[in-house]
């Protein structure tokens, strides 16, 4: 697929030859650039950046090294290199169509800016992916109170754990959160949230298992208003996006929340599992159709999965990615920063 495209490309552009002749110079530039990267990274190395990078390191290390190895070691841009580059992006779970788009754009960049060496190619690739994941959105305001945050996602992505992590962050900022246990389906889901409530000292509004999730939400919001809490997290049952009745149930929860506060839920966060492949795009599309998604949280990025589907999702649906989950501990949830994400993706 990409081979054909680049075959044509390399016929028309002289970069492969030029790259071959200029190889020593390019290597020097590459070395210098990396030194600069390190220096600037150190300068920026706030606790956050360090942590972000560390968290991503496990999943990114292979990827980054591969990119650098690819671009700096190869003498010329040939079929083999392009195939490896394609493999790299596809095995990172960026969708085939998105990879095609990335290469289309790269082709234009090469023409426009006369990209003739590997370093420039890397920068171009970087800026294309950055443009795709960098969705222009103001940070979550967590106000007015009570700020209602509805959590949704398919089964097993880590909704409940993420809620606990988020609430923990807000609590440390002096906010006063409340949990609403609207997952009335899964056995012991209420207990799970109760355990977190106890650990974090956060009240939990719940009914019995099997109760109507919207009724729980209704009571939860009512309690939140009465108690004057700042933020409400409504935990919902995991549901596959293809199940019409369950998506209707989600819509109903949303409607019922609106009965108390018209512009609530202020935030509807979709939790996605970074281990998931192309299906995450379907999840994002379907959930967004049922109840407009205002942000995405990408969990389980501490494994070896690369979470590249985020690039595809952000590019297609223009939904900002808000947080990433990078471990099992309470503070293993970090704000998603497109710049850092791509920097971490490409810096060694």
Query: Quick one: tokens of 189?
Result: 């889901």
Q: Which stretch binds other proteins (CB under 8 A): 128-136, 185-193, 221-229, 287-295?
A: 185-193
Minimum separation from the CB atom of position 165 to other proteins (A): 13
Residue from the set 192, 200, 215, 348 that interacts with other proteins by CB under 8 A: 192
Query: Quick one: tokens of 312?
Result: 């595809």
Residue 93 binds to other proteins (criterion: CB under 8 A) = yes
Q: Which stretch binds other proteins (CB under 8 A): 17-25, 32-40, 170-178, 268-276?
A: 268-276
Q: Which strand (E) or helix (H) includes residue 16?
A: helix 15-21
Q: Between 42 and 242, whose beta carbon lies closer to other proteins?
A: 242
Residue 17 binds to other proteins (criterion: CB under 8 A) = no
Query: Quick one: tokens of 227?
Result: 């108690």
Q: Between 107 and 306, whose beta carbon lies closer to other proteins?
A: 306
Among positions 40-69, residues that touch other proteins (CB under 8 A) are 58
Tally of CB atoms within 10 A around 318: 11
Minimum separation from the CB atom of position 306 to other proteins (A): 7
Residue 187 binds to other proteins (criterion: CB under 8 A) = yes
Q: Between 197 and 265, whose beta carbon lies closer to other proteins?
A: 197
Q: Between 234 and 326, whose beta carbon lies closer to other proteins?
A: 326
Residue 185 binds to other proteins (criterion: CB under 8 A) = yes
Asked if 298 and 306 count as a contact pair (C-beta separation under 8 A), the reply is no
Residue 35 binds to other proteins (criterion: CB under 8 A) = no
Q: Which stretch binds other proteins (CB under 8 A): 35-43, 69-77, 222-230, 270-278?
A: 270-278
Minimum separation from the CB atom of position 119 to other proteins (A): 26
DSSP three-state, residue 7: helix
Asked if 250 and 215 count as a contact pair (C-beta separation under 8 A), the reply is no
Residue from the set 29, 130, 169, 195 that interacts with other proteins by CB under 8 A: 195
Gap between the Cα atoms of 299 and 104, Å rounded? 30
Gap between the Cα atoms of 298 and 67, Å rounded? 23
Residue 279 binds to other proteins (criterion: CB under 8 A) = yes
330 CB contacts (<8 Å, ≥6 apart)?
A: 164, 165, 168
Gap between the Cα atoms of 281 and 292, Å rounded? 15
Residue 25 binds to other proteins (criterion: CB under 8 A) = no
Residue 104 binds to other proteins (criterion: CB under 8 A) = no
Q: Which stretch binds other proteins (CB under 8 A): 179-187, 211-219, 222-230, 290-298?
A: 179-187
Closest CA to 306 of 129, 159, 151: 129
Please work out the total of residues on this chain that contact other proteins, with binding judged by CB under 8 A: 44
Burial class (CB in 10 A: 0-12, 13-18, 19+), 175: middle
Residue from the set 101, 117, 273, 334 that interacts with other proteins by CB under 8 A: 273
Q: How far is CA 273 from the centre of its chain?
A: 9
Gap between the Cα atoms of 295 and 147, Å rounded? 15
Torsion, Cα of 233, 238, 242, 247 (10° steps) = -40
Residue 306 binds to other proteins (criterion: CB under 8 A) = yes
Asked if 10 and 68 count as a contact pair (C-beta separation under 8 A), the reply is no
The site for other proteins (CB under 8 A) is made up of 1, 58, 87, 90-93, 95-96, 154-158, 185-189, 191-192, 194-196, 209, 240-242, 273, 275-280, 282, 300, 302-306, 309, 328
């Amino acid at each position: 697929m990409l081979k054909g495209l680049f075959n044509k490309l390399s016929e028309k552009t002289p970069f492969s030859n030029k790259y071959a002749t200029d190889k020593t110079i390019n290597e020097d530039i590459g070395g210098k650039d990396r030194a600069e990267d390190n220096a600037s990274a150190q300068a920026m190395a706030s606790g956050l950046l360090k942590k972000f990078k560390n968290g991503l390191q496990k999943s990114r290390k292979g990827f980054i090294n591969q990119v650098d190895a690819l671009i700096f070691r190869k003498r010329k841009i040939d079929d083999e290199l392009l195939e490896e580059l394609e493999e790299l992006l596809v095995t990172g779970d960026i969708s085939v169509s998105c990879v095609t788009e990335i290469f289309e754009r790269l082709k234009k960049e090469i023409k426009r800016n006369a990209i003739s060496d590997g370093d420039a190619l890397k920068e171009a690739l970087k800026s294309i992916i950055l443009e795709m994941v960098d969705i222009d959105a103001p940070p979550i305001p967590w106000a007015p109170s009570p700020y209602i945050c509805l959590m949704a996602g398919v089964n097993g992505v880590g909704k409940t754990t993420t809620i606990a992590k988020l609430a923990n962050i807000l609590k440390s900022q002096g906010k006063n959160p409340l949990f609403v246990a609207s997952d009335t389906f899964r056995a012991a889901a209420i207990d799970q949230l109760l355990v977190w409530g106890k650990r974090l000292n956060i009240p939990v509004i719940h009914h019995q298992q099997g109760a109507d999730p919207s009724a729980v939400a209704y009571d939860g919001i009512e309690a939140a208003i009465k108690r004057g809490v700042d933020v409400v997290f409504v935990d919902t049952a995991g549901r596959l996006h293809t199940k019409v009745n369950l998506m209707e149930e989600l819509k109903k929860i949303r409607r019922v929340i609106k009965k108390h506060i018209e512009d609530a839920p202020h935030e509807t966060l979709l939790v996605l599992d970074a281990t998931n492949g192309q299906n995450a795009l379907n999840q994002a599309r379907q959930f967004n159709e049922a109840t407009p998604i205002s942000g995405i949280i990408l969990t389980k990025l501490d494994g070896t999965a690369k979470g590249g589907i985020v690039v595809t999702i952000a590019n297609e649906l223009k939904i900002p990615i808000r947080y990433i989950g990078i471990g099992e501990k309470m503070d293993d949830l970090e704000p998603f920063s497109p710049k850092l994400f791509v920097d971490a993706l490409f810096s060694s």
